[in-house]
Amino acid sequence: MGDDGGCFEAAFKALKRFGGVLEHPAHSRAWDAFSILKPAAGAGWQFDRPHGVWVCHVEQGHYGHTSRKATWLIACGMQRRELPELNWTKGAQRLPEWMIERYGYEKARRIGVVAMVGGKNKTAIRNATPEPFRDLLLSIARQAH
């Protein structure tokens, strides 16, 4: 954790220089490392005045991911009116009935649906960005100027 060889710093600098959007796992330590405003869940786009960027908390599950996959976004190079309204709500827990019957709700929730359906591919499934969310990010990036 925190040892990414400077990748986040380079991406953040490029974002601020050229505009666009940066996606990162929610609650990432990078926000503390760079003193970026941590977006509140359900609050929509929030402006981080010191950095001149917009931040938000969104769940990729609303856009096709198997799990909720909470994500923080940073957008730069656009006005608030140019940013899309997203689904800001907390997604429902998606547990198959057979999991609940077999393990009980609490254990099934701890295990998580990605671990149960992913098998050897669970890391790839967890890390994947669904195409509708990818397209949304690209549409945001195209607004940058």
- Please check whether residue 75 lies inside any domain of the structure: yes
Quick check: 129 pLDDT over 90? no
Quick check: 122 pLDDT over 90? no
- Please check whether residue 109 lies inside any domain of the structure: yes
70-76 and 53-59 as β-strands: parallel, antiparallel, unpaired? antiparallel
Average pLDDT of the segment spanning 47-55: 97
- pLDDT at residue 120, rounded to an integer: 64
Structure confidence by residue, pLDDT tens digits, 18-35: 999 999 999 999 999 999
Query: Which secondary structure element, helix H or strand E, spans residue 25, and what is its range?
Result: strand 20-25
Count CB neighbours of 100 within 10 A. 14
- pLDDT at residue 37, rounded to an integer: 98
- pLDDT at residue 118, rounded to an integer: 57
Q: How much of the chain exceeds pLDDT 70, in percent?
A: 91
Q: What is the domain count for the chain?
A: 1
Position 82 confidence tier, pLDDT thresholds 50, 70, 90:
very high
Q: Which residue did the predictor score with more confidence, 67 or 79?
A: 79
- Please check whether residue 53 lies inside any domain of the structure: yes
Average pLDDT of the segment spanning 38-63: 96
- Please check whether residue 2 lies inside any domain of the structure: no
- Please check whether residue 137 lies inside any domain of the structure: yes
Count CB neighbours of 50 within 10 A. 8
- pLDDT at residue 110, rounded to an integer: 72
Domain that holds residue 128: 7-142
